[in-house]
Chain A
Amino acid sequence: MHKTRIIKDKAAQTIMFALTVLAILLVVAIAIGLYLKSMPVLQDKSLWSLLFSSEWRPMKGNFGFFPFIMGTIWVTFMAILLAFPISVLTAIYLTEYSKPVVRKIVFPALDILAALPSVIYGVWGVLVIVPWISQHVAPHFVEFSTGYTVLAAGIVLGVMVIPLLISLFIEIFSGVPVELREASLALGATRWQTTKKVVLRKTIPGILASTVLAVSRAMGETIAVLMVCGCVIGIPKGMMDACYPIPALIANNYGEMLSMPLYESALMFAALILFAVVLIFNLISRIVLYRLGKTEK
């Protein structure tokens, strides 16, 4: 009877170990799967021409991803530009200034923002942001715009990464020891001075790492961006241009690609690029965040 208990324990250990390793291997599996699928296009074209050619003619077999890469960069940059200041300020207020009551109201609101699905933001973007840009913002810059622009996608994406950024920032700011703040306050510094000179300065690596994390999140966002970005192939020249980020490209063409092996392969290559960039960004920022977490504790 005793034996069976021990055997159970050992068996459980083996199974759990296997599950854990399998789960870790998922990262590798994704990489390999996508790589194998993008082999045909990689054999056919040079990596350079895939990444930096602007010619996108799937029917002719030309796959230049440059417009899409630029679209992704534009949209992501826009999103972070908008979300970063709002998130930092809100996070500072919540950690350094606010009373518990304020937090009780703000946290559920952030919960909601974080919980809403991508497609809902897409609907909101189509109904609110796109018309607003078309009618009120764009006329100041260009003669006519449908509103489906880099700016629209940037705003929608920005809103989507705000809750992520705020929660990461709050975690980082609250890791700064109270003694440090008190030391500064005791010298006659105001709250803001303390925040600026002590809290922010001490957490710069954390802030950067979190921002990189948010960048990688923004880059992969699909449906919401797809709905408001305009999906016009071309390198955007400004925030009033339509754009076509990589995730939107993949999602929009998943049906057609089946008929053409090389096209399918090219789209899988697009997914691979996305995966590789996100993977690298994530690895770097997570490792930085882990380190920081350790030294603080």
Chain B
Amino acid sequence: MKKPFFDRLLVAFSWGCALLLISAVSIIIGFLVVKGYKTINLDLIFADTRPLDGLLLKRQVFGGLFPAIIGTLSLILLAISFAMPVGIASGIYLSEYAPANQKWFFSLMVDILAGIPSIVVGLFGFSITIFLHHFFSNRIFPCLLISALSLAFLVLPYIVKTTQTAMESLPFQVRLTAPALGATRLENIIFVLLPTALSDIVSGLVLAIGRCAEDTAVIMLTGVVATAGIPKSIFSNFEALPFYIYYIASEYSDPSELMKGYGAALILLLICSGLFCIAHWIKNTIDQKQRFSY
């Protein structure tokens, strides 16, 4: 039997859209890979410095991506260590303790925070810096610490949301077993609910790390610069991969600098897709083990 006209149209339309999207993404990634794969080598990262000297911080690396990579890593580390405890604790509160009206209010707040454009979060970090500069100490300038704090604000809602959803989606039997054996609410949370929901929470965390690695708008206003070397302390300026890519795209002066930009874009893409794969892997493999044991 021949399919009706509109059904064939539907199939054609959906295939068309799917192929269009797939080809757009392949063109974007393919363009970077084709143009940039040649630049990926140790010179790109360490330039003239010997890799070991650079890694051990014996000598400053000039002209390579090493300072930008270190900057991005320290940014991630700081931001996540601020956002993780607060985010997970709020998620637990929202799913386990909060009465309905509080839950409504707090999850609205978290939703709004998640929707705020990242540049506004950056502007907030910047205005805090001015505020502190005026009222506390005029030695406070945009720096690594301020950037990390602002980024923490940016990823906080993701961590709260994933924790809350992970805890709320636990099956009822899991929830009731420990209290039935005499466990208190806190014991139930720490020994049963959190471990069971852990894989989802961790995969959410990894995605939050990806957000920290890719975000440019926040750090643009809060202390990233084009050349700073490896940050000496959390109060100094720093370099970061995404900002480096933006900077090259707008201000490159010669083809070799542009090639470095392609290399940096490719490295950032690899880091972010790696994080994405890790998050997926954690979610799928560990989750199945958990399901086995119940």
Pairing of A with B: no
Chain B residues near A (Cβ < 8 Å): none
Chain A residues near B (Cβ < 8 Å): none
